Structure 1
Amino acid sequence: MGLWKREAWRLLLLAGSGLAVGWLLSHAWAGLALGLGACLAFHLHQLRRLHRWLTLTPQAEPPATTGIWGDLLDRLYRYQKGQRHTQERLLGIIKRVQESSEAMRDSVVMLDGHGDMEWWNSAAERMLGLRAAHDRGHHITNLVRDPRFIDYFHARDYREPLTLPSPIDEQMVLQFQITLYGDDERLLMARDITRLHRLEEMRRDFVANVSHELRTPLTVLAGYLETYATYADQLPPRFARGVGRMQEQTVRMQSLVSDLLLLSKLEIERGGADHAPLAMSALLASVQRDAEALSGGRHTLEVEQSEARALVGSEQEIRSALSNLAFNAVRYTPEGSHIVLRWRPQGDGACLEVEDNGEGIDPVHLPRLTERFYRVDKGRSAATGGTGLGLAIVKHVLLRHDARLEIDSRPGQGARFRCLFPASRLLEPQLIEQ
């Protein structure tokens, strides 16, 4: 308030002086106007100095003056200085982020809210072929035009990465991961996984080749053992028991080889050629009969269907997935358990479930159940004749049908294996007839 009081007194002093001089000269109002004009001229002069400082030399110290103008200039200078320090600090942070991004081997691309590219590191130029001269400001799908990437980008479900070949080199395999941040902006990262991809291909080929080569010797062994088993009554008891055990293990090895070959097929082949609307009621009834045969009357199996739409997919693959779930329920639940095969609506899509009231599974095992050869109880699993590949097969079948597997189980409360299919995989009954 002190500055404002001094400015008010200065204004009154100038006006009073002009009024006094004008009164002495018999022109009081002219003197008052002259005093107010002098005050206005002073403020216009200070305003001009402020304008020249801000436009010509904003980095220099402000012009020296007193009163409210001096305080205003000092405050502007301190504010401007603070803003420069803040700007320098932010620019330093941005520079360090860019330098650290440049040091990364992975591609980093910053996208605005529309998906246009704002900045990227040098790795992105090597992997994606981006060029700063003419690509900045373009939409990312103009550079990465693979339909799978476009669907992934617009789906906005970035929980899982996407694996695709590089847009500039088909021999380079990239893993894309998008993260949402800020005001609907995106951070795209691409990692070169060519070496890992080739190792995975080598592993799949090795498993497929070995499994294929094992089929012939196992078939020969099974044939001879079956011949020996027909004369088991003529063999010594020790030999007869040995032949029976060898038959059991040969059958188990044949099942293991068949599952390994099926897994390799699911991993290598793209699929889709045999997809058609499936008669779900007939499929459920067929799997129910197979599961009842495996159970031998030790379990009660029931089918429930409340979804009228048909599932579009491969009958062989869906049957394999559903059979694995049903056979697991038979193998790993005690005698007298109740098992339900269910096809029902789930949101916009539909759900294929296998539910039992058996002993249940500890939740600690659930995240790993779809891993190859993972067993909750190794001793009991080996005794039931399972291969340890059933749920891995289910997982791959569902991935090929745009679906996912959910497992809900608690010890003593049974288990529910739920296959969730999107609405795009369903077909109305009237459309099937047409």
Structure 2
Amino acid sequence: MNTHARASRKARTFWVPTLLRFALLCLIILAVAASFGVVAGLVWFGLSLVALLFLQIWSLYRIEQWLDLPYGTPRPKTWGLWAHAAKRLENVRREDERSRVDMAEWLARFRQAMSLLPDGVVIVDGVMHLEWCNPTAEKHLGLDQLRDEGRLLTNLIRAPEFVDYMLSSRFEQPLAFVHHHRKIQLQLISFDNRRQIIVTHDLTQAEKNDTLRRDFIANASHELRTPLTVINGFLEHALSTEMDHKTRQRQLNLMAEQGQRMQRLVADMLALTRLESLVQQPSAETVRILPMLHRIVDQARALSEGRHLITLDAQAIDLKGNHDELESAFTNLLTNAVRYTPDGGSIQISWKMVGEGAALGVCDDGIGIAAEHLSRLTERFYRVDKTRSRITQGTGLGLAIVKHVLLRHRGHLLIESAPGKGSCFSAVFDRPQLILSDVKM
């Protein structure tokens, strides 16, 4: 049905009953006038008008009272045009309530979506009073939605850079500032005349990663420069000077040694970079630890060349994880013990249940490590004694590799040491990573 047809039908619905009622009233008045005289007809006409006016006022009053009642209250019993109007009003209220419910659901979904964003979202009015913020923004800016709603944002965040930015009215570029020990970047976006959105992003971890990356490149360059300097120096000397076979052989051996050092360093850097870039958990293959430990201990004894007493005490406990990564971590722990334990010292390797998990312990009776160094031992290229590290030819990346392997296998590294009392490095694994056996060793 087109618009013109609907309008015609509504007009008929409105006017036909009205005209019929008016015609009936006129007939009644004429009948009264014919039966009782003109005066009686006029009196009847006046009383009818008063009655109709009262009914109209009464119907209007009831509808007005009904509009103040909650949605869902039945519409009042009226007649004539007022019944039609009340029905139309009821339909309007129903549509309004449906729109209100839809809007509330949409707003709830919007807030839920905003709450899941990794960035902070703050909604303020035209004069910077807080209307809403998501949990990420609460963390970034130290806000509390329930406590701070309606308060002036520049009173809640007192950082001078933030206040200046908000008062400047120049929001083309984002602002970066430190707040509650976090580096926060934010930008204000106007989306209507009465509200504005502030989007925040935490730069703390990104800046920390950039610093680590710069330090890594600087340290790697420094570590590579030393052997390259040695090799280039010997090559220049060999090209410019005649030398006997013994001297040449000694320099070739030193160059080969420095080349192997660079090779170990590059291999460790590649291994560490690969571990840091992996996102998925390692495959859940069964890794047999006992054969691995026997093989690593044999390698350590070969590296020691009889200068240390190396013992193994292990239980038949297997692990879920990646075989190569675990072997790399365990090898680094035992190789470090051999390199940093003085001749004649002893090294004890244990693999057993500890509490709710299992631990690989590598303990020695060497010179030990001062307490101020313990928390930094797993940093890349960190060395307690740089001179001794050059002698032992360590890369400075072994414990960093161990830390990342353990993190990928739900484990952690414990370090206990004291000067003159030796050191004990323990790779601890949680119970879910273990595969137990009845066989003991």
**Which TM-score applies when normalising by structure 1?**
0.49
Q: Mark the structure with the bigger radius of gyration.
A: 2
